[in-house]
Amino acid sequence: MIYAITIYGEPGVFEALPKDRQDEVMSGHRALQAVLSERGEFVSIKLMPPTSAVMVEPAASEGAAPLITDGPFSETKENFLGFYAADFKDLEEALEHAKLISSPVAQLEVRPVAWAGGAISSE
């Protein structure tokens, strides 16, 4: 089963940490990446800060073009920062791996993937 380990946090907090704390967080990520790459294919993504985002809103009416807006309005609350996706034996194994990147700046969500295509495939 493919599981996604999704990372939420307040944008900017990681950058505000002292260097040695940043290194601590990064070493967790490097450890997870090393383990996952030994196991096979995986996907990992770190998003740029939300300030670089542009929104595509649904069209206002049928036949109209989707609306592109320059939001989102900034939220200082938790924000989607990035994710890992890889094949795990079961939930227990996925949770064990997620622990490697647990830190006070990250809320992690471990959720099974219903379908995956592209670089890793669920089929």
Partner 1 sequence: MSDWLEATFAEQRPRAIAALTRVFRDLDTAEEAFADACLKALAVWPQDGAPRDPLAWLLATARNAGLDDLRKSRRRAAILSRHAEEFQPMPAETPDPDEMRDDVLRLLFICCHPELDRRDQIAIALRVVVGLSVDEIASGFLVKSKTMEQRITRAKKKIANNPVAFEAPSPAERQARLGEVSTMVYLMFSEGWSTSAGPQQIKLTLCREAIRLARLLVALFPAMGEQAALLALLLFQHARRRARIDEEGKLVALDDQNRDLWDRSNIAEATSLLQKAQRIGHRGVYIIQAAIAAAHACSASSKETNWALIESHYAALYALQPTPVIRLNQIAAQAKLYGPQYALQAMDPLSQELSNYRWFHAMRGGLLQEAGEHKAAISAFETVLALSPTTLECDVINEKIKISQKELEGL
- Which residues of the shown chain bind partner 1 in the complex (CB under 8 A)? 10-18, 21, 48-52, 54, 68-74, 76-78, 103-105
The Cα 83–Cα 93 span in angstroms is 17
Question: 101 burial class (0-12, 13-18, 19+ CB within 10 angstroms)?
Answer: buried
Which residues are CB-neighbours of 17 under 8 A, at least 6 positions away?
A: 25, 105
Based on CB atoms, which residue is closest to partner 1, 45 or 91?
45
Q: Are the C-beta atoms of 103 and 9 separated by less than 8 Å?
A: no
Minimum separation from the CB atom of position 72 to partner 1 (A)? 7
Sign for the pseudo-dihedral over CA of 78, 80, 97, 45:
negative
Minimum separation from the CB atom of position 20 to partner 1 (A)? 9
Minimum separation from the CB atom of position 39 to partner 1 (A)? 27
Based on CB atoms, which residue is closest to partner 1, 11 or 97?
11
Minimum separation from the CB atom of position 51 to partner 1 (A)? 4
Based on CB atoms, which residue is closest to partner 1, 61 or 76?
76
Read off the tokens for 77: 């609350």
Based on CB atoms, which residue is closest to partner 1, 86 or 105?
105
